[in-house]
Structure 1
Amino acid sequence: MNSKTAIKIMLWMLLAIILFHLSIILKVIPYDITWGGRLKNDAEMYVFETASILINLFLCFILLIKGQYIRAFLSLKFVNITLWIFVILFGLNTIGNVFAKTNFEKYFALLTLTSAILILIILRKGKGQKGNS
């Protein structure tokens, strides 16, 4: 798989994840099946869901820069370091999802593991490409 394909898949997955978090904020999906079942009230849910949406939007912008879909307003070194941080975060989140209290969230381990692998592909394939390292 090439870097551009991996970026496109990640962007579509991130769109779905953002819509999922918006569904939680709008209470279409109950928040007690997310965040390891640890959220206690609406205030906590709004904070966690808003932070999650912002982080996912940030990752979208990083991927758009890496894929050269938008002008690089951040250095490519910063973009690559950020992607490595996300690989680590997705790896840790995969472990956390495996041990989540709800079965619903345990299935998200597949999504976070897939995200980590796709970002590794993006980083690996991007090394030899002009303007992507």
Structure 2
Amino acid sequence: MKYLLTARAAAHGMLLILSLIVLFHLLILTGVIPFAIVWGGRLKSHQQMLSFETVSIGLNLLMLAVVALAAGRLRLRVNSRLITGALWLMTALFLANTVGNLLARTALEQLVFTPLTLLLAVFSFRLAMDRKKITVPASA
């Protein structure tokens, strides 16, 4: 798999996709996109949507930071085991989300977000498998 998908391509793909997902959730939060099409079509109120979308945006920003650290785009001193552990956790989260999207009530989640979360799981797996040192000194 190392030769089919480079860690660099996986990182860049994740940075792009996660950035677009944050934008998507911001559009839901602002009402541009109706919240009925996300979260499996199970959200019942505006307040519930605000809670779920706020958590989602926060988690996606955290995952963006993890990938940016792994890719050397964010230069902070962080233990490489912590970053690798976070990438394994992200792999599991994206796999679980893929199953959730398959069971969603909305066609958008089934047809668009299922392959997207599966791709993110593959990218996360590729980065987690990378054995290089991930830590980048703050002065670099």
TM-score bracket for the superposition, by shorter chain length: over 0.9
Deviations 1:36-94 (A, max 9, x none): 11111110101100110110000011111111112234311111111111111110110
SS state at 1:79 partner: helix
Partner of 1:41: 45
Contact 2:98 2:117 in 1 (8 A): yes
Partner of 1:24: 28
Matches of 2:94 and 2:50, distance apart in 1? 22
SS state at 1:113 partner: helix
Partner of 1:132: 134
Matches of 1:57 and 1:24, distance apart in 2? 16
Q: 2:123 aligns with which of 111, 118, 127?
A: 118
Instruction: Give the gaps of 5 or more residues in structure 1.
Output: none
Q: 1:97 aligns with which of 83, 96, 101?
A: 101
Matches of 1:73 and 1:45, distance apart in 2? 35
Instruction: Give the gaps of 5 or more residues in structure 2.
Output: 136-140
Q: Alpha-carbon deviation of 1:5?
A: 1.4
Partner of 2:9: 5
- Structure-to-structure mapping, 1:38-117, within 5 angstroms: 38-107=42-111, 108-117=113-122
SS state at 2:57 partner: helix
Using the size of structure 1 for normalisation, the TM-score is 0.93
Contact 2:22 2:57 in 1 (8 A): yes
Q: Alpha-carbon deviation of 1:7?
A: 0.3
Q: Alpha-carbon deviation of 1:99?
A: 0.7
**1:81 is matched by which residue type in structure 2?**
G
> Number of residues paired by the alignment?
130
Matches of 2:40 and 2:116, distance apart in 1? 15
